[in-house]
Amino acid sequence: MVRNIAKTATYSVMHLSVAVTVAYALSGDWRIALSIGVIEPIVQTVAYAVHEKVWTRVNFWRREPEAA
């Protein structure tokens, strides 16, 4: 669980940097870029955490143990 929290936190910091940079490149306004850059990664981080939990619980593409 601690590893997942650390992974999510570092992903969030990276995503914030990318989001602000892209938003600034598109808008040319730092206030707009920071607003978008702060809101979007928060939403994306929550979505990512939910996505990770779903994938740990679902057996999609997992191999079934072979019977002996």
Q: Write down the domain spans for the chain.
A: 2-57
| Percentage above 70 pLDDT, the chain | 94
| Predicted confidence band of residue 11 (pLDDT cuts 50, 70, 90) | confident
Half-sphere exposure of 40 (CA within 13 A, CB side): 16
| Predicted confidence band of residue 68 (pLDDT cuts 50, 70, 90) | low
| Predicted confidence band of residue 23 (pLDDT cuts 50, 70, 90) | very high
Cα–Cα distance measured from residue 4 to residue 9, given in angstroms and rounded to the nearest whole number = 9
Residue 38 in tokens: 């702060």
**Predicted TM-score of the model (pTM):** 0.56
Q: Which residue do the tokens 């619980």 mark?
A: 57
Cα–Cα distance measured from residue 10 to residue 20, given in angstroms and rounded to the nearest whole number = 16
Helix (H, G, I), strand (E, B), or coil: what is residue 29? coil
